[in-house]
Amino acid sequence: MGKILIFGHKNPDTDSITSSLVLANLERKMGREVESCRLGKINKESEYVLRYVGMEAPRLLEDVEDGAEVMLVDHASNKESIDNLDNTKILKIIDHHKVALNTGYPLYYRAEPVGCTETILYKLYQENGVEIDKKIAILMLSAIISDTLLFKSPTCTPEDIKVAKELAKIAEIDCDTYGLEMLKAGTDLTGLSIPEILNLDAKEIDLKKVKSVIAQVNTASIADVMAIQADLETGMQKIMEEKQLDLFMLLITDIVNSDSQVIVLGKRADLVETSYGVKLENNTALLKGVVSRKKQVVPILTENV
């Protein structure tokens, strides 16, 4: 039997990348043979973090053999995971999303409604008496900053803030300065194709019967991204046809002002209008104060289907 594989979701974000490294470190300290993996390309924000700590990215995992032992971080759904997940043996899940997986066998499952997987992993280090070194602290802190948009997202809980403060001490980092630099690194779209931009942080979600993709791209300037609206729409249209979607919603999230400009296509685009009381003009609208897909988009759209 090979090593236990630890990975986060497809289109990995900083939480998925760092949590696979951080859990792997913990498991090794506990004497298990594990390997940190990822299910997609490293984004520029994660690249910034890895460069900052001087660590290699987890190995890109193309597929897993039947019966492989795995641990999931930052996700708990088939759709967001490796294709062959059903034929693997899931030993452990550490996550902060809704439960969307039924294994049919017992496993270690730790889910808490906090802003970031790393906040849970921090507790696991404490519970197991494993010391958090400076590099690990920087990885963890980066993910908390990323997932909570520097503590401004409604997904951020007092626990995330408390843990981040502890980590910042170990990391010897000023959260605001480092955090903004890191988030800005993630907004750099140069060299990315339209499909790559649309896939940076895209999730396929069924809102009841409405087949949807809800994608998000962070920016420091909504206008800069809206300058390529026509190209984005062409790309969205293509994905909609391929995946037979009813709705494609792209959130262009202003990380400084915490608003999202949305581009919405599909026969159920009306859902966005009724959910937020806005009128889409030229397929777009500004959603004031909306930054979290998990808290401010998915449940609201679902309720309005």
What are the residues binding Mg ion (CB under 5 A)?
A: 13, 15, 74, 147
Q: What is the largest CA-CA distance in the chain?
A: 57
Task: Tell me the closest approach of the beta carbon of residue 65 to Mg ion, in angstroms.
Answer: 25
Task: Tell me the closest approach of the beta carbon of residue 13 to Mg ion, in angstroms.
Answer: 4
* Nearest CB to Mg ion, comparing residues 280 and 300: 300
Task: Tell me the closest approach of the beta carbon of residue 286 to Mg ion, in angstroms.
Answer: 20
* Nearest CB to Mg ion, comparing residues 185 and 280: 185
* Nearest CB to Mg ion, comparing residues 220 and 280: 220
Task: Tell me the closest approach of the beta carbon of residue 295 to Mg ion, in angstroms.
Answer: 11
Task: Tell me the closest approach of the beta carbon of residue 282 to Mg ion, in angstroms.
Answer: 27
Cα separation, 214 vs 298, whole angstroms: 9
Task: Tell me the closest approach of the beta carbon of residue 297 to Mg ion, in angstroms.
Answer: 11
List the beta bridge partners of residue 215: 202, 250
Task: Tell me the closest approach of the beta carbon of residue 301 to Mg ion, in angstroms.
Answer: 17
Contact 100, 117 (CB under 8 A): no
Contact 70, 1 (CB under 8 A): no
* Nearest CB to Mg ion, comparing residues 67 and 81: 81
Task: Tell me the closest approach of the beta carbon of residue 117 to Mg ion, in angstroms.
Answer: 5
* Nearest CB to Mg ion, comparing residues 13 and 27: 13
* Nearest CB to Mg ion, comparing residues 45 and 69: 45
* Nearest CB to Mg ion, comparing residues 41 and 89: 41
Closest CB to Mg ion: residue number: 15
* Nearest CB to Mg ion, comparing residues 147 and 246: 147
Cα separation, 233 vs 139, whole angstroms: 35
Contact 235, 195 (CB under 8 A): yes
Task: Tell me the closest approach of the beta carbon of residue 73 to Mg ion, in angstroms.
Answer: 8
* Nearest CB to Mg ion, comparing residues 183 and 272: 183
What's the per-residue H, E or C state across the chain?
CCCEEEECCECCCHHHHHHHHHHHHHHHHCCCCEEEEEECCCCHHHHHHHHHHCCCCCEECCCCCCCCEEEEECCCECCCCCCCHHHCEEEEEEECCCCECCCCCCCEEEECCCCCHHHHHHHHHHHCCCCCCHHHHHHHHHHHHHHHCCCCCCCCCHHHHHHHHHHHHHHCCCHHHHHHHHHHHHCCCCCCCHHHHHHCCEEEEEECCEEEEEEEEEECCHHHHHCCHHHHHHHHHHHHHHHCCCEEEEEEEECCCCEEEEEEECCCCHHHHHHHCCCCECCEEEECCCCCHHHHHHHHHHHHC
